[in-house]
Chains A and B, each alone.
Chain A
Amino acid sequence: MKEALQAIESEALASIQKAESSQELQEMKVKYLGKKGSLTSVLRGMGKLSKEERPVIGELANNVRESITEALETKTEKLEREALNEQLENETIDVTLPGNPVHVGGRHLLTNIMEEIEDLFIGMGYEVKEGPEVETDYYNFEALNLPKNHPARDMQDTFFITNELLLRTQTSPVQARTMQSYQGERPIKMICPGKVYRRDTDDATHSHQFRQIEGLVVDKNITLSDLKGTLDVFAKKMFGKDREIRLRPSFFPFTEPSVEMDVSCKVCDGEGCSVCKQTGWIEILGGGMVHPRVLEMSGYDPSIYSGFAFGMGQERIAMLKYGVNDIRHFYTNDVRFLSQYHQA
């Protein structure tokens, strides 16, 4: 009986090895392990065996069954893998053909710049304030120490609507409005981004509409050094940690002292090149200590409070940062321009 079992095993293993389809394997399973299969029929003779032989043969029979089953499974798996491989080979496509285009939109470059600047100052505890674009003469000029007939009004050509209404020429009226709304009762840390308008002919460096972002900090003991430190943080974050800043005196009616801030040219690293007109420095923004009259007019006692303010053109920052050479690109919205920067 032992020999019979071993014969079944070697026959089965040999034929499984030869099988070429899962159909054949199915048939072999029936032939060897089925109810009427050869192994079963051998086992039927178990009853005739002695008490001692029975467990031995039983164990052998089980081993043979397991061995055949395992061979069947292995072979089945192998055949299935081959079939799948063949199918997959047949499914080969040309991966060099273009994929399905995804319609990609994006933000305007100036939005990116504005949000970058906003986030930088938000990180330093500034709130973001906004105000009307059609302003009164009072908020756009008078509250900023620019009374009617002040010669410095010539610095900005204004779009007037009536004698009292105009398109704001700067975002500074938002500063005046904010100070007045706080009634001199609390410190201020704010930035105000927004559109402004000037009576300029549009060309490569002028636009009758552009965007500014200004900042204002008012508290007890705000110093000019605080302005310098703050602008240094801004410049390094915006233009790179190796940039240096320098302050130069300037003039704005609403600040005293007033400064212009230059950043060391990143193209030549301060050596002098065509971008910085051989000076090594690029003018970025203006600022200064809030003029005591401006504080006073807005309800802040200049003997208690001091403050600094600064302002810049967003287009200028974007042009310097990304090398844009014509301000009109921002407003013609050529898709070939916009799509260059939506990841910026």
Chain B
Amino acid sequence: MLVSYNWLRNYVNLDKITPEELAEKITRSGIEVEGIEYLAPKTENIVVGYVKSCEKHPDADKLNLCQVDVGEEALQIICGAPNVGQGQKVAVAKPGAKLPNGMKIKKVKLRGIESNGMICSLQELGLDEKYIPADVAEGIFVFPEDAEVGTPVQELLNLDDAILDLDVLANRPDALSMLGVAYEVAALLDQPIHLPDESLTVDQSIEAKDYIEVKIDSIENNPYYGAFIVRDVEIKPAPLWMRNYLMASGIRPINNVVDITNFVLLEYGQPLHAFDYDQFGSKQVLIRQANENETLVTLDDQERQLNEKNLVITNGEVPVALAGVMGGANSEVTDETTNILLEAAYFESASVRHTVKQTGLRSESSTRFEKGVDPNRVKRAGVRACMLLQKYANAKVASGVVEVDELDKSEKSVVITKAKVNQRLGMELDEKDIISVLTRLQFEFTQNGEEMIVEVPTRRRDISIFEDILEEVIRIHGYEHLPYTIPQGWVQAGGLTDIQRLQREIKNYLSSAGLMETLTYSLTNQKDAKRFLTPDIEKEPAYSVGLAMPMSEEHSHLRLSLIPEMLRVLQHNIARTQTDLAYYEIGKVFVSREESVTKQPIENLHVAGALTGLWHNHPWQQEKKSVDFYVAKGIVEGLFAHLELDVTFVQTRMEDMHPGRCAEIKLNGNGIGYVGQVHPLAAKDFDVKETYVFEINLEAIFSAHQQIPSFTDIPRYPSVTRDIAFILDNDVPAGNVQTVIKEIGAPLVKDVSIFDVYQGEHMEDGKKSVAYRLLYQDPSHTLKDDEVDASYHEIIEKVNSQFGSYVRS
């Protein structure tokens, strides 16, 4: 809402406060002033002049030679504007004046003839092009005849006005009107308010009911409709002061009738609509829901398809306006209009909202109806507009208003007590502090013992309960008076849950393992949303959840894996010559088991990693290591070791992963994730090079993880190591043998590690040698050779028979 400081002065005395100070006060008390703009920079030596004569320049077709009376002198001025003419009152920049655009006015000669000043257009005086009325947009501005010659144009054109841009939130529709802002400012400054003149003298010889009747078929959406009849209007420009205020408020003046309805809309916050009575087409206003497939050409010349959810004003037959949103072209006020049907109505916000949403049409009117207008100002706004029409359009206003009125105009009363106010605020206000606030806001109240019964004016629709009054009390009294306290009484030991702690632990581990945390979008494209699924998701049909109205295809579906967006992060960095990358992320994936979603998807927390380029690089020592499968797997193994969970890795095949370099991660026999190389073709899709990834469902880890590890005594007896190298068929996974060794060797074998793998020369075709180191230990005694030997031989024998292997000699 743009609020003209000069306009506001009509209602509240602002003599002691600058626009800047006022803006600060308004902001501090709840309505944010987003900016202050001065209409035009201060100008001097620009005054009203009277064009005494105007002739063609003898040597230039497009120039006019004017003699202009500016009061104490007459100036000869050459003017190029097409609309300049004898008898006009115009804005004259005298020599020495400086225009807002920086131009300095000097005496000059144009085609041999002296020009002692400049006749200005509104643009040249600093007004924004888009608010300038059409009739003067192409030339100089012409003042009304009563403008006094020699008067500085600054004040006449309201150019010194400051415009406050108020960010009015949904709770304060009252501030969408000058009167609403005036009430607010009056309260803040503790000043009285001067209400506008509503004294209307009607023409007793004409009665509105002879011209129109009103019928409402949809009273729930339109509880009040008032029709005023205004006859014999003289269409002309509105008075200059009104046009100035409209332009300052961001509305372009049109003619007196349209300008007056707009002026009252801004002044009262009540939208009005003027129909050309003679084009209305009947003597009946019928308000109803539109019929299916009915159409209306609105004022912007667009044909609107209507349906039964749109409330329309009709002439009993066809729609003439979209209620509360925009009028129809068929009954528009034009220069030929002489008789007017003026509508002052109350349309319910839900109905207007619906039409606005459906048509995308948003107007000054609809904005106010959507947020709610003051029921007690509807009719008054109509009266005020009639009064202005009478005054500025020489119109006759018919007596009486034809209305249907089922509008609830009652005021709400709210009971407060000083004790309750102080209890909720946590401070000690006196009763007089509270009374002072209510008085400043002009809220009536009565006292009944401890209780104060506050009558809330209907302009403040946002106030209906005790807490609302509480807010008024503290915002007007001032938040700076509130003390600083901390909640007393009940206490609990705050903290993280086990799962939250574990997440931090996993981040600690991965960060110290050399990975950088990323944060990517949950929304990805439809195709990528379903790639790189972990085995627990893959085992049943899984669907991605799509948005009803995505903003772009790139962010249309919720991810089922973190990997695609992480690959995109790799790509972003690679494109910026950052090639050695190791990333991890913890985030949710969204799994729907229904093809068309009806309920909330399962949200699982996942951890994922993506690595590419060099893992280690020390150039001058010629030490370089690229990321490979075992780097990625080592990180995963380290994670599970850190969490003290036993997992196994099983060779697997997955779409989008390298067929020979991918392992499923199993915890207690269930697949919970994978680690491996991205398939080169998938890597190409994402425009990345050789990349290794892992992704694990953390929910499985959370349920398996033991929060408090049990203590194991530190071994007191020495351990013994034994090495065995088995010659295995190439396709026997070394890890399987390792598992078997552990099983057979238990409980004496505490650990089995692989320290050498060999294939190639001196090795039979299709065979490999894998060397295992076994760690023997017994907590109760020092192991004897024969104990170890017995186990060692048993292991050799059983492994050989199970895997068809033999021991390398």
Contact = CB atoms under 8 A, between A and B. Distances in A.
Contact of A134 (B511, B545, B549, B551): B545
Given A154-B170, A247-B482, A338 B510 contact: no
A209 interface: yes
A151 B518 contact: no
Contacts of B621: 100
A107 B425 contact: no
B516 A134 contact: no
B402 to A, nearest CB: 31
A78 B590 CA distance: 75
B790 interface: no
Interface string A224-259: 111011101100000000000011111101001111
Nearest to A151: B170
B514 A257 contact: no
Interface string B449-483: 00000000000000001111011001100011011
B495 interface: yes
B784 interface: no
A130 B471 CA distance: 30
A323 to B, nearest CB: 19
A32 interface: no
B511 A125 contact: no
B424 A136 contact: no
A338 B482 contact: no
B579 to A, nearest CB: 10
B550 to A, nearest CB: 8
Given A134-B601, A159-B547, A103 B615 contact: yes
A9 interface: no
Interface stretch (A46-54, A62-70, A116-124): A116-124
Interface stretch (A12-20, A36-44, A327-335): A327-335
B467 A257 contact: yes
A292 B616 contact: no
B486 A333 contact: no
B600 A160 contact: no
A165 B600 CA distance: 7
Contacts of B779: none
A249 B175 CA distance: 15
Given A122-B494, A221-B489, A335 B475 contact: no
B425 A223 contact: yes
B486 A246 contact: no
B492 interface: yes
Given A209-B523, A249-B475, A289-B424, A101 B617 contact: yes
A133 interface: yes
Contacts of B704: none
A331 B30 contact: no
A189 interface: yes
B380 interface: no
A127 B522 CA distance: 26
Contacts, number: 254
Contact of B349 (A122, A126, A151, A256): A151
A18 to B, nearest CB: 46
B467 A289 contact: yes
A128 interface: yes
Interface string A308-344: 0000000000000000000000111111101100100
Main secondary structure of the interface of A (DSSP, over half): mixed
Interface residues of A, number: 88
A133 B588 contact: yes
Given A101-B616, A229-B486, A125 B494 contact: yes
A254 to B, nearest CB: 12
Interface in B602-617: 603, 615-617
A324 B621 CA distance: 38
B620 interface: yes
B522 A209 contact: yes
A246 B487 contact: no
A226 B371 contact: no
A195 B569 contact: no
Interface string B423-448: 11111000000000000000000000
B551 A201 contact: yes
A155 interface: yes
Interface stretch (B220-228, B256-264, B570-578, B729-737): B570-578
A223 B485 CA distance: 9
Nearest to A291: B467
Contacts of A251: 30, 169-172
Interface string A126-149: 111010111110000000000001
A230 B582 contact: no
Contacts of A125: 491-494
Given A248-B479, A335-B578, A161 B485 contact: no
Contacts of B466: 292
A108 B519 contact: yes
Contacts of A97: 620
Contacts of A25: none
Contacts of A149: 350, 353
Nearest to A223: B426
Contacts of B199: none
Contact of B522 (A123, A128, A197, A246): A197
B497 interface: yes
Contacts of A248: 27-30, 32, 479
B548 A121 contact: no
Contacts of A29: none
Contacts of B479: 228, 246-249, 259
Contacts of B569: 332-333
Contacts of A335: 516, 573, 578, 581
Given A223-B485, A338-B517, A134 B427 contact: no
Given A107-B511, A133-B588, A208-B523, A250 B516 contact: no
B689 to A, nearest CB: 16
Contacts of B468: 256
A106 interface: yes
Contact of B549 (A107, A126, A160, A224): A160
Contacts of A228: 479, 482-485
Contact of B465 (A132, A133, A256): A256
Interface string A166-210: 010000000000000000000101000001010101000000110
Contact of B520 (A115, A151, A333): A333
Contacts of B780: none
A61 interface: no
A132 B600 CA distance: 9
A122 B500 CA distance: 13
Nearest to A338: B516
B573 A292 contact: no
Interface of B: 27-30, 32, 169-172, 349-350, 353, 370-372, 423-427, 465-468, 470-471, 474-475, 479-480, 482-497, 500, 504, 507, 510-523, 545-551, 555, 558, 569, 572-573, 576, 578, 581-584, 587-588, 590, 597-601, 603, 615-618, 620-621, 623
Interface of A: 97-98, 100-108, 110-111, 115, 118, 121-128, 130, 132-136, 149-152, 154-155, 159-162, 165, 167, 187, 189, 195, 197, 199, 201, 208-209, 217, 219-226, 228-230, 232-233, 246-251, 253, 256-259, 289, 291-292, 306, 330-336, 338-339, 342
27 contacts: A100-B623, A103-B514, A103-B615, A105-B512, A105-B515, A105-B584, A121-B494, A124-B486, A125-B492, A127-B495, A128-B496, A130-B500, A133-B590, A151-B349, A162-B548, A187-B490, A208-B551, A221-B423, A223-B424, A226-B485, A226-B486, A230-B486, A246-B480, A251-B172, A289-B470, A332-B569, A342-B511
Q: Which 9 A-B pairs have the closest CB atoms?
A: A223-B426, A225-B426, A257-B471, A103-B514, A249-B30, A229-B484, A247-B479, A256-B467, A251-B171
Given A111-B507, A228-B485, 19 more contacts: A105-B584, A124-B494, A125-B493, A128-B495, A133-B588, A134-B600, A150-B170, A159-B547, A161-B545, A161-B597, A247-B479, A251-B172, A256-B468, A257-B467, A257-B475, A259-B479, A289-B470, A333-B569, A334-B578
